[in-house]
């Protein structure tokens, strides 16, 4: 399976949020983008939020394994 292509996303945040994101990224030695991805994925995992495409793909793989 090929990795997904990246997409552009643009939004505005306060200077304080940007400083916090930069501090978190520096602390983990990550880029701002990667830090934001990790934070969102962690939030979703902790709150049971699942990407619908991942869910469909997972169900299809489980069905294939049962055959």
Q: pLDDT tens digits for 3-37?
A: 889 999 999 999 999 999 999 999 999 999 999 99
Total tally of structural domains belonging to the chain: 1
In-domain check, residue 51:
yes
d(CA 28, CA 18): 15
42, 24 in Cβ contact below 8 A?
no
In-domain check, residue 36:
yes
49, 39 in Cβ contact below 8 A?
no
d(CA 24, CA 17): 10
d(CA 36, CA 20): 11
In-domain check, residue 24:
yes
- List the domain range (segments joined by +) for residue 25: 15-66
In-domain check, residue 44:
yes
66 versus 30: which is more confidently predicted? 30
In-domain check, residue 37:
yes
In-domain check, residue 23:
yes
In-domain check, residue 22:
yes
Question: 4-13, 35-44, 55-64: which range is least confident on average?
Answer: 55-64
In-domain check, residue 10:
no
């Amino acid at each position: 399976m090929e990795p997904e292509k990246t997409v552009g996303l643009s939004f505005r945040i306060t200077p304080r949020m940007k400083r916090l994101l930069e501090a978190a990224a520096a602390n983990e030695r990550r880029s701002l983008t990667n830090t934001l991805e990790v934070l969102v994925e962690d939030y979703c995992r902790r709150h049971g939020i699942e990407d619908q495409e991942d869910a469909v793909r997972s169900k299809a793989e489980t069905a294939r394994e049962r055959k």
